[in-house]
Amino acid sequence: MTEYAHSKTGVDINPGATIGNSFFIDHATGVVIGETAIVGNHVKIYQGVTLGGLFVAKSLQETKRHPTIEDHVTIYANATILGGETVVGENSTVGGNAWITKSIPPNSTVYHIPEIKIKTQTNAS
């Protein structure tokens, strides 16, 4: 059933994940939620979000490998949150393209600041 849903929606939620009430995925394509992830109540996530493990090893089969997202959290597009000990505290916002491997306290805003540089070449005559 999970693979069928994935093929139709582009969303990969492992059936072992724990997901609370009023969970909302907007523009869901590319969302991945790992087996031991815990997602609280009233959580909103956007396209391309990954709640994954830091690495895969057979010895970790019985270990919590995926993050915990507490209540009332919003995670914007393409954010990646990894690791079984990583907790995003309640009432927090994770900005787009953020890469998170450590816990975030409640009521936090985390965001990625991209730096784009454009270098123009001049024509030598």
Task: For 85-103, give the DSSP string.
Answer: T-EE-TT-EE-TT-EE-S-
Would you place residue 108 in the very low, low, confident or very high pLDDT band (cuts 50, 70, 90)? Answer: very high
For residue 110, the cross-strand partners are 94
Architecture per CATH, domain 2-110, reads as: 3 Solenoid (2.160)
Q: What pTM, to 2 d.p., does this model score?
A: 0.86
Two structure tokens written together for 37: 């992830």
CB atoms within 10 A of CB 108: 15
Tell me how long the chain is: 125
Indicate the SS3 state at residue 125: coil
Of 3-7, 10-14, 108-112, the range with the highest mean pLDDT is 108-112
pLDDT(5) > 80: no
Q: Where are the domains of the chain?
A: 2-110
